[in-house]
Structure 1
Amino acid sequence: MSASPSPWWSPHRHADRRPALLTRNRIVASLRGHFAARDFVEVEAAALQVSPGNEAHLSAFATSVIGNDGAESRLYLHTSPEFACKKLLAAGETRLFSLARVFRNRERGPLHHPEFTMLEWYRAGQDYEVLMRDCAEILALAAEEAQVRTLRFRGRESDPFAAFERLTLAEAFERHAGIDLLATIAADGSTDRDALAAGLAARGLRVAPDDTWADLFSRVLVASIEPKLGDGRPTILCEYPVSEAALARPSPRDPRVAERFELYACGVELANAFGELTDPHEQRRRFEAEMAEKARVYGESYPIDEDFLAALAIMPEASGIALGLDRLVMLAVGAPRIDDVIWTPVADSPALSGSAA
């Protein structure tokens, strides 16, 4: 039986980790300067929120808040500062960014940590494609601070200075899985589960009787597409189906897809961006659908932040993006695990390490 590794605070192990951690500090400092030079204001979002987010497969940490009278109420540690940042857009901020500690349950592995740092930034009145240019600048910035020309993860490489590949979900499904994705989506955004199941079955991919369209979509994405993204150069994967973009507005070019993209390098998802949905009625409908799915799969759901929906009604048109800072640092220093670039990682345990990799 092999001995357990030394804790992160043991002097010899800390000495090995310290160069990557100092690089992390340089990247953070450079990011703050980058945004300040572009007239962004840094904001701090409270970690305690009425709702931690309303996406079906995000799991949160709950806590009890005790008032002066001894009465208890439930709050959650946020999974993203998104709701708070959008309230600030409604309040009148036009360019803002946040380096927020966020918390996600049911997540531990080489790319996942229950507490991590999310870099989010928002641009009022600007199209979400501007965020693609922001991403190019930020990847180059991280590489420069790490004094490298190549991002690396477990034997894979990506050039952060190269022009990004741009690929729609429809193109990715056709190229990497031979499936016509848009043929399974109606003009109103509704999906045809049986049509997508037939596409998977024809290519030998597993289909279970209780799989939903979303289950099948995710299976193809994870098994056949994501491993091929960001090789050699970063990839922008864009135009997600509307049903897979709960907080994004529909594309004016095709109502079946939304203004959502994700950024990949070395097969690793780094960022998730939206042209923001600002219709509170449609947002409520989507949240309710997401929570119904969460209840079906996990037997629980989270409350809807009514204050957020009220703010959404006066929020300006905007674009916003969330980027995993720890993952960016990982790729810049070539670390194999996210814990290697976190100053004080949460103690591991068999229960935690048994979750998703």
Structure 2
Amino acid sequence: MESERERLARIKPHLERRALVYEATRHFFRERGFLEIETPIRMPTLAPEAQITPIESDGWFLSTSPELHMKRLLAAGYDRLFQIGRCFRKGERGRWHNPEFTLLEWYRTGADYLQMIGDTEDLVCAATTRLGLGSTIRYQGERIDLSPPWSRVTVRQAFLGIAGWDPVREPDPVRFDTDLVTKVIPGFAPDHPVVLLDYPAPMASLARLNPNDPAVAERAEVFIGGLELANAFSELTDARTQKERFAEEMEAIKKGGRQHAPMPERFLGAMGHFPECGGIALGMDRLVMLLCDARSIDEVMPFTVDTI
């Protein structure tokens, strides 16, 4: 059996590469006029999401995402923000998951979800350049060309073409999640990234609906090598609509037998000052996995929940 000393020696090259990815990320955003900020990781409330179980901390919660506080900064007049921070989600453990993980989020005013995807293309290219990898990498035996622009396909197109049904016309969250994992993602061409666009309106979360097609939300997710890497929104700025969505999520959480956090009233109160903006969350551990050809998240973190 491999000792801890042997394990840490084996993954040291990955941790060194991880540090370079962080360095490249910070350089990328500073060059573009973004301010790096830190927000609380322990808070009295958070955005209610039925699919995410937060970790409680003495009556409060560990952050599942810095989104709410970063948007309150946008409401106060900040225009370009990024954060590399630790987040926590209960019960998430597996090849690509650890209950404690690192999330990169950034927001900028005057942008939409498509522009945030453009930022992501440029960021990944900057990271590969810093590592001396060029535009093509190999991940788990597959050659992946990271050159932009990445392939773009709508949810409707992908599901009709691969799974044989239209989740925009026939919303079914359970079937959607199952088919996404078992059919749609495996059906993507493995040799380039794919951006999945325009999610069904019931899956909008904190994204705005498309004004020309309110059946879909301006939400996009990036998939590379079978990994879900990033999730982008054109951000919703209507507090009333957001509160209704939160209430629906709270009801779903309650029906699932869990206690939900209080309504995030300070966040909702700040929404009256929200500018038009885009935002995106990117899993840093997963990006490092891709750039290290690491099969498991355990290979890019010195300590996981199993080795603490």
Give the structure-2-normalised TM-score: 0.95
- Paired residue for 2:152? 166
State the 1:347 CA deviation.
2.5
Structure 2 counterpart of 1:112, one-letter code: H
Match runs of 1:300-339 below 5 Å = 300-339=259-298
1:166/1:235 contact within 8 Å kept: yes
**2:37 is equivalent to residue 51 of structure 1:** no
Q: 1:39 aligns with which of 11, 33, 39?
A: 33
State the 1:159 CA deviation.
1.3
Quote the Cα distance in structure 1 between the aligned partners of 2:89 and 2:143.
28
State the 1:13 CA deviation.
2.1
SS at match of 2:273: coil
**2:169 is equivalent to residue 183 of structure 1:** yes
Quote the Cα distance in structure 1 between the aligned partners of 2:126 and 2:299.
20
Q: 2:190 aligns with which of 202, 227, 231?
A: 231
Q: 1:90 aligns with which of 68, 75, 79?
A: 75
**2:8 is equivalent to residue 30 of structure 1:** no
Quote the Cα distance in structure 2 between the aligned partners of 1:301 and 1:23.
39
- Paired residue for 1:77? 62
Structure 2 counterpart of 1:251, one-letter code: N
State the 1:348 CA deviation.
5.0
1:157/1:266 contact within 8 Å kept: no
2:207/2:236 contact within 8 Å kept: yes
Q: 1:6 aligns with which of 3, 21, 24?
A: 3
Quote the Cα distance in structure 2 between the aligned partners of 1:98 and 1:223.
32
1:224-245, Cα deviation, whole Å (9 max, x unpaired): 1122336111111010011112
Match runs of 1:9-158 below 5 Å = 10=5, 12-64=6-58, 74-149=59-134, 150-158=136-144
1:59-103, Cα deviation, whole Å (9 max, x unpaired): 111111xxxxxxxxx211110000010000011100000001111
State the 1:32 CA deviation.
0.5
Which segment is superposed worse, 115-124 or 45-54?
Answer: 45-54
Quote the Cα distance in structure 1 between the aligned partners of 2:285 and 2:212.
35
Structure 2 counterpart of 1:257, one-letter code: V
SS at match of 1:24: helix
2:168/2:199 contact within 8 Å kept: no
2:109/2:276 contact within 8 Å kept: yes
Counting matched residue pairs gives 307
SS at match of 2:210: coil
Quote the Cα distance in structure 2 between the aligned partners of 1:274 and 1:218.
19
Structure 2 counterpart of 1:146, one-letter code: L
Structure 2 counterpart of 1:61, one-letter code: I
- Paired residue for 1:258? 217
Where do 5+ consecutive residues of structure 2 fail to align?
none
The percentage of counterpart residues that share the same residue type is: 39
Relative to its length, the structure with more strand (as a share) is 2
- Paired residue for 2:208? 249
1:108-137, Cα deviation, whole Å (9 max, x unpaired): 011001111100000112222111111111
Quote the Cα distance in structure 1 between the aligned partners of 2:143 and 2:185.
15
Quote the Cα distance in structure 2 between the aligned partners of 1:145 and 1:343.
22
Structure 1 counterpart of 2:26, one-letter code: R
Quote the Cα distance in structure 2 between the aligned partners of 1:118 and 1:24.
13
Quote the Cα distance in structure 1 between the aligned partners of 2:70 and 2:189.
29
Quote the Cα distance in structure 2 between the aligned partners of 1:152 and 1:291.
42
Structure 1 counterpart of 2:165, one-letter code: I
Q: Which structure has the larger Rg over C-alpha atoms?
A: 1
Quote the Cα distance in structure 2 between the aligned partners of 1:277 and 1:234.
26
Structure 2 counterpart of 1:52, one-letter code: L
